[in-house]
Structure 1
Amino acid sequence: QLGLVNLLHLVLIPGAEMKKQNLSCHISHRLQVYGEHLSGYDLTSQHRKKERFLRADTLSSPVNTYKIHKVLGQGVYGKVVECKNVDSKEKMAVKIVERNLSAAAVKEVSILKNLRQLDENKNNLVRFVEHFQQKGCSCLVFEILDMSLYDFLKKRSFNPLRVSEMRVIAQQMLVALNALKSIGLIHGDIKPDNIMLVNHTAQPFKIKLIDFGLAHSASKITAGTKIQAVGYRAPEVMLGCPMNEAIDMWSLGCSMRILDRKSFSAQWRLKIHTEHVHSTGCTVKPCSKIFEKFTGLDDIATTGKGERSDTEAEDTRAFISLLKHILQLYPAKRIDPREALGHHFITRIHFPCDASNSGHWYCKSVYKLY
């Protein structure tokens, strides 16, 4: 971990302004270096495979027939389509994986079967139904969900979530990550695109975690494995250091910060020594001084939300406190899901009001989400 301090120049937290620096060339370079075209990363990829199934009306497993209604999304892995079970009339989501990625599909199915030892509903994990082959492609059937948090934000013009709404999402995600940690599993791709609203009309902010295409066993993953989207990538992954389930906590922290801000962008990340020198021509300052001066997370309390009541301001400070514990540079110091579930931002013990005796509008807005 010595390289963790010696190689890093600056931690760019999502709340910190990138000012006028143009990092597009560096991001493009990193996308090449790390081979980001992995399962489902880029839904607008130029490497989309030719459609195979839209010409057919149905997909058939040994026991079920699914009628295709529409494409929900697609990427380099293939596509996800909304289907209806012909017999039960139940809507399902089917992930169709191209034949050249069949090995990846076999691995994902193995992981999804392993998840069945957990209670998917209780632990906020997508329910896996079955898998089968059709025309050489792998078809993975899941319960149908509403929309991703990314699509939800896009629908509301990327207006940030309230801190009280963030708590509900964070608590459910911590439950999910705690369950994964209990079986030694790293998700490897935590981001708003993979956090799905179950049914936002009937169950506001009820979420489930999806897409285990990049998941790994914590006991088998090796240093240098390239996983996680760039804007959500943990420092130990970036630097090729040993890693464990703590990388998912880092990605969750990044996701929480992005959901809380007005501008939605994942084009921030850890800048390493050579990138800083190349982009600025400046010699790197000692890391310790940089870290001491950086106060990006604390700025959340004073920017972007206008006037706050004392109660809401206290809640925001609790949110910042949890983010600081999650976005710890050193994995060993990073809070784990179980510890985070006991943090006062999640437990709400800092509130001067309760569900039965709450005359304050902010307290009411918090408790009605539970």
Structure 2
Amino acid sequence: MILETRRNVEFPHRNVDKRPRKRPRLAWDAPPLPPPSTVFHPPLYYGPEFTGGLVPSFGYPNMFYNGLPRQGSPPWRPDDKDGHFSFVVGDTLTPRYQILSKMGEGTFGQVLECFDDKHKEAVAIKVIRSVPKYREAAMIEIDVLQRLARHDVGGSRCVQIRNWFDYRNHICIVFEKLGPSLYDFLRKNSYRSFPIDLVRELGRQLLESVAYMHDLRLIHTDLKPENILLVSSEYIKIPDYKFLSRPTRDGSYFKNLPKSSAIKLIDFGSTTLEHQDHSHIVSTRHYRAPEVILGVGWNYPCDLWSIGCILVELCSGEALFQTHENLEHLAMMERVLGPLPPQMVLRADRRSDRYFRRGAKLDWPEAATSRDSLKAVWKLPRLPNLIMQHVDHSAGDLIDLLLGLLRYDPTERLKAREALNHPFFTRSREQTISLTEWTRFISMMESLGRLQPFHLSFPKHPTFAPFRPLIRPNSSFKHTPIKASSSKSQNPITPLQKSTPFRLFKSTCITLTTAAALLFVNLQLKPAAIAAPVAPPPSTESKEQHVTLEEEERALEEHLTTHLPDVDSLRSLMEVKIRSRKLTEAVEVVDRLIKLEPEEPEWPVLKANIFTYSGEIDSAKASFEDILAKDPLRVEAYHGLVMAYSDAGLDLNEVESRIEEAMLRCKKENNHNDFRDFKLLLAQIRVIDGKHGEALKLYRELVKEEPADFRPYLCQGVIYTLLKKKDKAEEQFDKFRELVPENHPYREYFMENLIASKLFSEKTQREMAGSES
């Protein structure tokens, strides 16, 4: 007979807490238990602390428990060296609970799956280590859980406590049994992201739970995917369209989705009341807010920062800030979100002074601890680019929500209930999917009896035409041209327009217009700052060429890791990224160039154009508008808007009206050069709309006004080629070659692109003729 102590504090058991389980819970993280060894039965032990039948609760001197001998108890096993409870499957925690398995282990102790003999159901019991500080934390958690249970009538937001007791110097907290954590689900799913509609539903529930806690003046302080549990363990497999190119043997054709999107918050051991003294450090590193790192004081907003990081992780599959060091963490924040506010840095405590130099400037990368640290920071994209890599629809709303949740200044950060009213959650119902709709959708999938290919919200991959540099190594032009995307017709679609020849002709018009009216809008431009033509799409790069690009990229990144960033190296890296079709990474390099040369006007134009050609039309439009806000007569920005509107299938009348207004302003200011450039741009719009006669009329006017300008001749030559008037086309090309100055810095570039444009247009004519026949 072994003496044991226990104290039960029972909470009412509601029917709403019973959840039928259709299959056993997955083991997830729990490692298989070792086979039971020969059990050592210690002799009866009656220590001096058990005298008198009263046993003090360590750390709580005013709490006492009846020391009563009980029949059928497991043998007394000493705790392990860390104070964890020792057990064997089949043992009992008091006669009521039988241990079924180990569900997990953490710093606090262990979580055991047990069978509740009284209510005939499985429960999860958190067995705290027999260490005073963890026992104290457990009592605080119990107090928080009681407070939450009193107000959460439906039990839908936070995990429900059943009861608690003190067993052999281990505080044991009994919970309803839930499914895996969101982190477990991601990990077992090879860290593949959740569909955006599921992220929306999970985010809504998470914010509701946190808003509920904040209303009770409670701050969780340790929000992370590990502390968010799915209510159910059940899931289904669906085709994963992002990985269809992988071999089937690695299981990548399918991904798992939870059958229910219902979640609950757990782990309130670090929860703090608003009025309590706040410890200096809270939150797990990856989800820690900047005010905690800087020591400027934290409160409710630190939970909202954590939620922002969690949402990024759910839609990308990876933690946003994967670091374990303060300086690197702050550098990652600045990489993703921009510089820290100076006023916040100046309020930082003394321990944070070593992270900054020259006032509020972060001491990075000078104080970086290793090359790996530099790479870890520089590989991170800006937040909008990161989200658009993984999200198809709703990307704009999600980005705006995240920018509100991840504001540096906690006083400006969104509150939980403000975030719940954000358009990301409140858009029309056809764009969102509720918890009930998600469950109905999953049930429908199961009722089909077999998997049907479907696409819930997986990111689409825009198809880019191959990039091909049209310059020789000794050319004065050192940037790689980018192919413009084909546009949609601005007019109502006719049967002719649906035909293959018409679509091909339309695409060709846009591509070759780039060679004419657009590329030469301003002779002093860096050609990479605006769209440039390409020759017919070349064959797929050879393996040797691909390896060479990879090696070149690796060498440049190694150089930039070990040296201070310089414009030439960054520009070369940008070119390699573009040639490798890594457009998002190219934008990141341009951002670095903008930091090095903030006064250089061409980098923002180049960045905006890359957005256009990578299909990020909203970002492109916003970038061009920013440029025009600073320089209302910037021709290249108007050209970029034309291409962005055209690619998005938007009406060009608005842009055309703005160009005409700019022309009037140029006329009033006697700005002859910009006036001609805008006129060339109007001619391009005519070509886009298929009005070649009107375009030719504008070009003739330009020739009449200034016969020595070679640009209109090249434009006319391209259009005549498209119209199958080879003699007239060649006449215009001859005039162009005659007029372009021998010493012009871009003459060679013009000539090479002229040849490519002619070859492409002739090839297109042949293909059109073949299609018509």
TM-score clears 0.5: yes
**One-letter identity of the residue aligned with 1:296:** R
Q: Aligned to 1:176, which of 209, 219, 229?
A: 209
Contact in 1 for aligned 2:138/2:171 (Cα 8 Å)? yes
Q: Secondary structure at the match of 2:231?
A: strand
Q: Aligned to 2:314, which of 251, 255, 259?
A: 259
Cα distance 1:49–1:201, how it changes in 2: closer, same or farther (>3 A)? same
Q: Who is 2:398 aligned against?
A: 319
Q: Secondary structure at the match of 2:316?
A: coil
**One-letter identity of the residue aligned with 1:95:** K
Q: Secondary structure at the match of 1:204?
A: coil
CA displacement at 1:274 relative to structure 2: 3.5
Q: Aligned to 1:54, which of 80, 83, 88?
A: 88
Cα distance 1:108–1:301, how it changes in 2: closer, same or farther (>3 A)? closer
Tell me, yes or no, if structure 1 residue 333 matches structure 2 residue 412: yes
CA displacement at 1:302 relative to structure 2: 3.4
**One-letter identity of the residue aligned with 2:420:** L
Q: Aligned to 2:275, which of 207, 210, 219?
A: 219
Contact in 2 for aligned 1:149/1:195 (Cα 8 Å)? yes
Return the index of the structure with the highest Cα Rg.
Answer: 2
Bigger proportion of residues as strand: 1
Cα distance 1:109–1:303, how it changes in 2: closer, same or farther (>3 A)? same
Contact in 1 for aligned 2:85/2:170 (Cα 8 Å)? no
Q: Aligned to 1:132, which of 165, 181, 185?
A: 165
Contact in 2 for aligned 1:249/1:337 (Cα 8 Å)? yes
Deviates more, 1:253-262 or 1:148-157: 253-262
Q: Who is 2:265 aligned against?
A: 209
Contact in 2 for aligned 1:167/1:345 (Cα 8 Å)? yes
Cα distance 1:48–1:170, how it changes in 2: closer, same or farther (>3 A)? farther
Contact in 1 for aligned 2:224/2:306 (Cα 8 Å)? yes
Q: Aligned to 1:234, which of 280, 289, 292?
A: 289
CA displacement at 1:354 relative to structure 2: 9.6
- Aligned Cα root-mean-square deviation (Å): 3.0
CA displacement at 1:123 relative to structure 2: 4.6
State how far apart, in whole Å, the 2-side matches of 1:252 and 1:353 are: 20
CA displacement at 1:142 relative to structure 2: 0.4
Cα distance 1:244–1:264, how it changes in 2: closer, same or farther (>3 A)? closer
Structure with greater contact order relative to length (CA < 8 Å, sep ≥ 6)? 1
Q: Who is 1:189 aligned against?
A: 222
Q: Who is 1:17 aligned against?
A: none
**One-letter identity of the residue aligned with 1:348:** R
Q: Secondary structure at the match of 2:150?
A: coil
CA displacement at 1:99 relative to structure 2: 1.9
Cα distance 1:49–1:270, how it changes in 2: closer, same or farther (>3 A)? farther
| Match runs of 1:102-181 below 5 Å | 102-119=135-152, 121=154, 123-181=156-214
Q: Aligned to 1:76, which of 107, 118, 124?
A: 107
Bigger proportion of residues as helix: 2
CA displacement at 1:275 relative to structure 2: 4.9
Identity of aligned residues (%): 30
CA displacement at 1:91 relative to structure 2: 0.7
CA displacement at 1:265 relative to structure 2: 6.5
Cα distance 1:82–1:353, how it changes in 2: closer, same or farther (>3 A)? closer
CA displacement at 1:82 relative to structure 2: 0.5
Q: Spell out, residue by residue over 1:111-148, the C-alpha distance to the aligned partner (whole angstroms, 9 max, x if none).
A: 11111222264552100111100001100010000100
CA displacement at 1:340 relative to structure 2: 0.8
Unmatched tracts of structure 2, length 5 or more: 1-79, 236-258, 324-328, 332-351, 357-361, 369-379, 438-454, 458-773
Tell me, yes or no, if structure 1 residue 296 matches structure 2 residue 356: no
Cα distance 1:122–1:108, how it changes in 2: closer, same or farther (>3 A)? closer
State how far apart, in whole Å, the 1-side matches of 2:166 and 2:175 are: 15
State how far apart, in whole Å, the 2-side matches of 1:47 and 1:86 are: 31
Cα distance 1:347–1:304, how it changes in 2: closer, same or farther (>3 A)? closer
CA displacement at 1:297 relative to structure 2: 1.4
TM-score with structure 1 setting the length? 0.72
Tell me, yes or no, if structure 1 residue 281 matches structure 2 residue 312: no
Cα distance 1:47–1:257, how it changes in 2: closer, same or farther (>3 A)? farther
State how far apart, in whole Å, the 2-side matches of 1:330 and 1:344 are: 22
**One-letter identity of the residue aligned with 1:69:** L
Q: Who is 1:28 aligned against?
A: none
